[in-house]
Amino acid sequence: MKLNIALLAGDGIGPEVIEQAVKVCEVIATKYNHEINWNPALAGAAAIEDCGDPYPDSTHKICKSSDAILFGAIGHPKYDNDPTAKVRPEQGLLKMRKKLGLFANVRPTFTFPSLLDKSPLKRERIEGVDFVILRELISGIYFGEKGRRDNGDTAFDTCVYTKSEVQRIAKKGFELAMMRSKKLCCVDKANVMETSRLWRETIQAMEKDYPEVKVSYEFVDAVAMRLIQWPHSYDVLVTENLFGDFLTDEASVISGSMGLMPSASIGSDIGLFEPIHGSYPQAAGLNIANPMAAVLSAAMMFESFGLTKESDAIRKVVNKALEEGIVTVDLAFGGESYGTKEVGTWLAENV
């Protein structure tokens, strides 16, 4: 297969972890007879420095003409510590998601056998956990009207959802549930928020179209607790943008590290594959960041093209590295650790 991949390394540790993912993809391409054409483009703080726009049109053009996007991370402390900054790197990611129509963010949570005893959670709670959080990605409070009034002393962010926005993400949730264990949990705050009541009534009305799916409705605060305490009770969870952002970071603890968790953003014919972690600026350039989330995001990318042998091979080699202790410091738990590049090279050589 010939693949055109837009490569958006972004900021902080983005370039380092993406470099490792590319190394692994190249080996896979050679082994399975694919040809990958990488199209690098700027995004985030790097793009602001270059042209003042965190997601410039030139980058959008490259994304639009590619088959998929492999993305590193976005964010820079220069902007985090300056609340008055007019342009922020994160706006680039949001603009990209919106302009590409990527309304569904798929964040799987699973465990790695070799990490079970190293988790802050008890083995029996997490062994065999396998659920997916489906996060709505281009609406809600992230995109509603926001601003200041009263000379800047009052600030507001508005959470807005339309019925059709809820329907399209819920449809994905039902479809995913049908492919898995036919259980769907809708996470909301319907006891307080009007948007959540719209979510609940919309999804309730869709239940009749999927009679085999058992749907539950739970409040997000309770889910935040149960997800850690009884992760086995979940299979597919569907939720709005901000709740999904929080819950997916929380869920990464079950797997063992933020540095392990990949994600796919879908909705149009061009998928975006990215680690759930941020740009981790404190680690940038130090060769200590975990490249596995980026590598596993590449696995999700191959899977999206129906190339499951390729994605399985990548997942297998990551598991092998974990078993053999070829890990970065976040997973070394005081033992021996390897650099970002060394882990990447090991994965590429062993895949």
- Can you give the binding site for Mn ion, defined by CB under 5 A? 245
Report the SS3 class of residue 71: strand
- Give me the amino acid identity at 138: I
Q: Which tokens in the block code for residue 305?
A: 């093209």
Comparison of 74 and 185: residue with beta carbon closer to ligand IPM? 74
Task: Establish whether 130 is a catalytic residue.
Answer: no
Burial pattern 89-127, b for ≥16 Cβ within 10 A else e, equals bbbbbbbbbbebbbbbbbbbbbbbebbbeebebeeeebe
CB atoms within 10 A of CB 173: 25
Among 221, 309, 312, 316, the one annotated catalytic: 221
Q: Are 237 and 185 in contact (CB under 8 A)?
A: yes
Q: Counting Cβ atoms within 10 Å, is residue 151 exposed (0-12), middle (13-18) or buried (19+)?
A: exposed
Site string for ligand IPM, 70-99 (x = CB under 6 A): ----xx--------------x--x------
Tell me which of 188, 245, 310, 330 binds ligand IPM, using CB under 6 A.
Answer: 245
Q: Which residue's C-beta sits nearest to ligand IPM?
A: 90
Q: Using CB under 6 A, which of 40, 101, 144, 278 touches ligand IPM?
A: 278
Catalytic pick from 53, 189, 210, 280?
Answer: 189
Question: Which entry of Mn ion, ligand IPM, none binds 165, CB below 5 to 8 A by partner kind?
Answer: none
DSSP 88: -
From the list ligand IPM, Mn ion, none, partner contacted by residue 75 (C-beta under 5 to 8 A by kind): ligand IPM
Tokens describing residue 78: 């220069």
Residue 249 falls in the annotated catalytic set: yes
Backbone region of residue 6 per phi and psi (left: phi > 0; alpha: psi in -120 to 50; beta: other values): beta
Is 217 designated active site? no
| Using rule CB under 6 A, residue 16 touches ligand IPM | no
State whether residue 343 is helix, strand or coil: helix
Q: 90 contacts which partner out of Mn ion, ligand IPM, none, CB within 5 to 8 A by kind? A: ligand IPM
Q: Which of 55, 142, 161, 210 is catalytic?
A: 142
Q: Which residues bind ligand IPM (CB under 6 A)?
A: 74-75, 90, 93, 245, 276, 278
So which residues are the catalytic ones? 142, 189, 221, 245, 249
